[in-house]
Structure formats: C-alpha cells, structure tokens
C-alpha cells in the first residue's frame, strides 16, 4: 500500500517536471510556432527597392550596361557570386531579371534602343525577354 502511494507520487513528480521543462523550452525559444512565424514574416517581408535609380548612374549605364551584364553573367555562373552591391549600398541579384524588375514597365526600353543602335543581343533566345516579361 505504502509502496503504491510512493510510486504514484514519483510518477506525478516526473510528469510535472516534464510539463515544466516543456513550458520552459517553449518560453526560451519562443515556441516552434512563433519561430516559424518569424521566419515566414522575414521571408515575406518586401525588400524595398528604390526603382527610381538604376544599378549605376543612367549616364554610365548607357555606355556600360553590356559590360556590366557580361560581368554579372561571369560572376554568377562561373564564380557563384550572385549579389551585386551598388556604390550606394543597395543589393541586387546578378541576373537579367533584375533589369526587367525595373525596366519591364516599359517593354520597349531595351528593344527600341537596340533597334535604333542596330544591336541584336541574343540573350532573349534563352532568357525571359523584356517583351514578354509584362505579359
């Protein structure tokens, strides 16, 4: 009889300690659900991109965007370095899609100037073209 009561107390204490430890871990880590919510919030947080400024000055871009794109392709595909940091500290993915992120609002932006300059970049054979980006 005495033994059974002792055993029950031992069991109750073990359960109480387990529950306490669980609540302690929940409070320390903020709980698994709130941690997941925080990660999701960070992933969903819109990255503020100032679309009023190009990745470099418009003047420089006008004459150097081909070299920049070539470098981006090399860095990204060969070196695995996919992030471009501008001189004023903004971060961009080294991808043609980055250009379209801002310039696709005018699908003729790349096309018309190339027509005018009589250059025919072959990039759009494989990459999403500015002409279809907005569709």
Which residues contact ligand HEC (rule: CB under 6 A)? 49, 51-55, 58, 61-62, 65-66, 68-69, 72-73, 76-77, 92, 94-99, 101-103, 109-110, 113-114, 117, 119, 121-123, 125-127, 130
In the bound state with ligand HEC, the residue whose beta carbon lies nearer, of 45 and 79, is 79
Residue 76 near residue 66 (C-beta atoms within 8 A): no
Nearest to 99 by CA among 71, 76, 122, 129: 129
Least distance (Å) between residue 41 CB and ligand HEC: 24
CB of 44 to ligand HEC, least distance (A): 20
User: Minimum distance from CB of 39 to ligand HEC (Å)?
Assistant: 24
The whole-angstrom separation of Cα 81 and Cα 72 is 9
- Token pair for 7: 């055993």
Question: With contact defined as beta carbons under 8 Å apart, do 109 and 132 qualify?
Answer: no
């Amino acid at each position: 009889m005495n033994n059974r009561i002792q055993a029950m107390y031992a069991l109750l204490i073990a359960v109480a300690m387990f529950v306490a430890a669980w609540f302690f871990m929940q409070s320390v880590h903020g709980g698994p659900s709130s941690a997941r919510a925080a990660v999701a919030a960070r992933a969903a947080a819109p990255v503020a991109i100032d679309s009023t400024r190009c990745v470099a000055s418009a003047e420089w871009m006008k004459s150097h965007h081909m070299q920049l794109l070539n470098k981006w392709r090399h860095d990204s595909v060969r070196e695995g370095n996919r992030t471009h940091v501008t001189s004023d500290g903004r971060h961009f993915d080294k991808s043609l899609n980055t250009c379209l992120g801002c310039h696709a609002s005018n699908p003729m932006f790349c096309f018309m100037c190339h027509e005018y300059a009589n250059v025919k970049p072959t990039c759009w054979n494989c990459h999403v073209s500015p002409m279809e980006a907005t569709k």
